[in-house]
Structure 1
Amino acid sequence: MTRKLLAALAGAALAFGALTSPATATEAKGADFSVQGSWACTIPTGKTYTRAQNNYNVCAPFGWAHSFYVETPYSGLSACLIPSGFTYSRAQNNYNLCAPSGWAHSYVLQVPRSGLWVCFVPAGFSASRTQRNYNVCAPNGWADSYLLV
């Protein structure tokens, strides 16, 4: 009875792993990153990621390594990395989202434009006003927001 139960559990675990595991490193290399969302071992320039996982034998042969859910950035996307050409309007502290098994910030991305309140002023812009907010640009803390002109 115990052997049958263990065999059934092992089979279920394998089936579950096949359904939930991200793309292998080989699949990620050939992925089309113009499509929203692909698991990869690195983040290409101009892209961002929205989740990270720690996997065995996926991005490192015979070991554990992070893989990233890579997406094309756009205004309003909650992302783990702020790509070049973007700023952000809010920061959040999340567990097990941007850092596997740990706390890390995510950011609500924004394409900079005049009249937008942001958490940092990107190159080529200036700010006409500043206001101090709690839990907007700094999770669980006070930080300044800037009105872009």
Structure 2
Amino acid sequence: MTGIRSRIAIIVGSARPVSIGDQLGAEIARVVEASSDADVRTLDLREIGLPMLDEPLMAALGQYAHAHARAWAAQVADADAVIFLTPQYNGGYPASLKNAIDYLGAEWRGLPGAIVSYGGRGGPLAADQLAGGRRAA
């Protein structure tokens, strides 16, 4: 054992005031911590409060003009893997999560991830949409 712990970020994708995402995120964090040696952090988009994408340059350039974009990029870049926790809204994932994803470019490349979805019918449409229509069978 090298003493280096994996860093897993749980991204709570809903920014709704009445969302249960924070509660589900806390439970997922508890399960992951109990079953691994990972350092788990929850990144709640409601708390992070990103405005609608306001960067003047495309994310692929990695030249973030605003402090909130640089802070968000640093949080994602610090993770070794991410778990996207998303509700299903109207057959898809919420705009808050799409916005957060669109802010960044290189930070997502090669970053392992998983999707956990929820909703009145379990959230499979949100998971499928977020995965780009390539959900595992």
Same fold per superposition (TM over 0.5): no
Larger helix percent: 2
Name which one, 1 or 2, has greater alpha-carbon Rg: 1
Higher fraction of strand:
1
Higher relative contact order (Cα pairs below 8 Å, separated by 6+ residues): 2
Normalising to structure 1: TM-score of the pair? 0.22
